[in-house]
A = this chain, B = another copy of it.
């Protein structure tokens, strides 16, 4: 491969955006991607009937200005998530229909519990500086507390606790006992608070790109001057006095700067020479990914809309614990997206495919009626076993990690710059955060190329 100014590792939104901005600034780039496709933790399937399914990251919302900027740049419009109806909550076998984020129609005490928890989360978010959550006044206290404990203390009623736990831990696709409360608050704060992250309309699931995320990442990739090499898992990154050599199985690139834009657990598989500073290599050991299984169930039409339902539902403990309307901008065919996260996703993964399908369709039928049991198609995407995601959707910080090692999330290591949504201070965990991280890493690399960053900040001591 020819020498380049910057080598980008990973062709998800972070890496592709970085490569685009470098191209636009006149720099040569090479992108090395381990998979046989681009898109990273987003993946749009284009179907014969003209529809598209987003198997990974899907939505955009207000305040996600950088992914919207990218969409505008390439002429990709957005369409609104369908919200013209009621959502559904199933608790202890009983169904409740409601509008808005909190199901006030349910047991009023449950709703009061949820409302109080939201107030508390909003208050906590205001106390967190998004660029340095570890500097929050109560950072030490929150970082020694798990989300599970916070739920135990803040949400006395079991049903409310279960619902909020599913909503919050769901994002992190791991058990609430694994997750630092400081990380939860930092992630919520990075997106403006719990109302955005847990909301649909005007929230994190407000709209989608027409054509799916693939319409965006394909356009970005096409605008990158320089090759995007697929099936090139990077094995080693060797820095020396003059530059960097990046090696995959069969080839190598000589470059001046590297942007690593893969999940932290995947970045840990790369052999770095010299070794990374301790706090960065320890961070690689300490931000695991979770389990997520995303199923699309396709019908001739979105029959639930006729019943006054949005298709959005939450039913803890069932085989279809979370559902969402996943129709395209044309509204046909009818697509329900069923998301299983964390321990629930691991449990479903242990079933045979046929048993899992039966269980999911049975749960959907109980919720949406007989039509739900007779789909025209059914597809699964199990991110948990994606070798080059290390799991899905995002990495979380267990207790103690942000206060001890969080500062290393973005600090360049010599000629290596770090991207990926986990390194974003705004909209962390979203596609927008990935885009922002790619743009920030590109700015750093450009500064490095022009000599306004030190050539080689300190690396590990021997």
Considering the chains assembled together, what is the distance between the CA atoms of A460 and B398 in angstroms? 25
Asked if A279 CB lies within 8 Å of chain B CBs, one says: yes
Asked if A113 CB lies within 8 Å of chain B CBs, one says: no
Are A403 and B177 CB-contacts (below 8 A) given A278-B385, A349-B461, A384-B278? yes
Q: Say whether A349 contacts B278, CB under 8 Å.
A: yes
B-contacting residues, A393-412, CB 8 Å: 398-401, 403-404
Considering the chains assembled together, what is the distance between the CA atoms of A400 and B173 in angstroms? 13
Asked if A346 CB lies within 8 Å of chain B CBs, one says: yes
* Selected contact of A268 from candidates B152, B269, B271, B382, CB within 8 Å: B269
Q: Which residues on B sit within 8 Å (CB–CB) of A343?
A: 404
Q: Which residues on B sit within 8 Å (CB–CB) of A286?
A: 178, 288, 398
The segment from A88-96, A143-151, A200-208, A217-225 found at the interface with B is: A143-151
Q: Which residues on B sit within 8 Å (CB–CB) of A462?
A: 382, 385
Q: Which residues on B sit within 8 Å (CB–CB) of A140?
A: 177
Q: Say whether B400 contacts A148, CB under 8 Å.
A: yes
Asked if A391 CB lies within 8 Å of chain B CBs, one says: yes
Considering the chains assembled together, what is the distance between the CA atoms of A390 and B278 in angstroms? 9
Minimum C-beta distance from A134 to chain B (A): 11
Considering the chains assembled together, what is the distance between the CA atoms of A175 and B349 in angstroms? 34
Q: Which residues on B sit within 8 Å (CB–CB) of A346?
A: 278-279
Considering the chains assembled together, what is the distance between the CA atoms of A349 and B281 in angstroms? 14
Considering the chains assembled together, what is the distance between the CA atoms of A145 and B149 in angstroms? 8
Q: Say whether A175 contacts B404, CB under 8 Å.
A: yes
Which B residue sits closest to A291, measured CB to CB? Answer: B278
* Selected contact of A146 from candidates B278, B282, B399, B404, CB within 8 Å: B399
Q: Which residues on B sit within 8 Å (CB–CB) of A177?
A: 140, 143-144, 399-400, 403-404
Are A146 and B288 CB-contacts (below 8 A) given A385-B460, A391-B282? no
Asked if A275 CB lies within 8 Å of chain B CBs, one says: yes
Q: Say whether A288 contacts B282, CB under 8 Å.
A: yes
Asked if A265 CB lies within 8 Å of chain B CBs, one says: yes
A415-442 interface code vs B (CB 8 A; 1 in, 0 out):
0000000000000000000000000000
Are A400 and B146 CB-contacts (below 8 A) given A269-B269, A385-B460? yes
Q: Which residues on B sit within 8 Å (CB–CB) of A146?
A: 144-146, 399-400
Asked if A321 CB lies within 8 Å of chain B CBs, one says: no
B-contacting residues, A279-313, CB 8 Å: 279, 281-282, 285-286, 288-289, 291
Which B residue sits closest to A152, measured CB to CB? Answer: B144
Q: How many copies does the complex hold?
A: 2
Asked if A232 CB lies within 8 Å of chain B CBs, one says: no
Q: Say whether B291 contacts A265, CB under 8 Å.
A: no
Q: Which residues on B sit within 8 Å (CB–CB) of A385?
A: 275, 278, 460-462
Which B residue sits closest to A150, measured CB to CB? Answer: B144
Minimum C-beta distance from A33 to chain B (A): 16
Q: Say whether A178 contacts B288, CB under 8 Å.
A: no
Asked if A47 CB lies within 8 Å of chain B CBs, one says: no
Considering the chains assembled together, what is the distance between the CA atoms of A146 and B397 in angstroms? 14
B-contacting residues, A163-182, CB 8 Å: 174-179
A238-275 interface code vs B (CB 8 A; 1 in, 0 out):
00000000000000000000000000010011010001
Q: Which residues on B sit within 8 Å (CB–CB) of A235?
A: 235
Minimum C-beta distance from A238 to chain B (A): 13
Q: Which residues on B sit within 8 Å (CB–CB) of A460?
A: 385
Considering the chains assembled together, what is the distance between the CA atoms of A282 and B349 in angstroms? 14
Which B residue sits closest to A342, measured CB to CB? Answer: B404
Q: Say whether A285 contacts B289, CB under 8 Å.
A: yes
Minimum C-beta distance from A250 to chain B (A): 14
Considering the chains assembled together, what is the distance between the CA atoms of A384 and B269 in angstroms? 17
Q: Which 8 A-B pairs have the closest CB atoms?
A: A178-B400, A177-B400, A285-B288, A398-B398, A144-B177, A144-B148, A265-B285, A144-B146
Given contacts A268-B268, A281-B390, A286-B398, 19 further A-B pairs with CB under 8 A are A144-B176, A145-B149, A146-B146, A174-B400, A175-B400, A177-B399, A178-B399, A178-B400, A178-B404, A265-B268, A265-B285, A268-B269, A278-B384, A282-B391, A285-B288, A285-B289, A285-B390, A343-B404, A398-B400
12 contacts between A and B (CB under 8 A): A145-B149, A146-B399, A148-B399, A176-B400, A177-B403, A235-B235, A278-B349, A278-B384, A282-B288, A285-B285, A285-B391, A349-B461
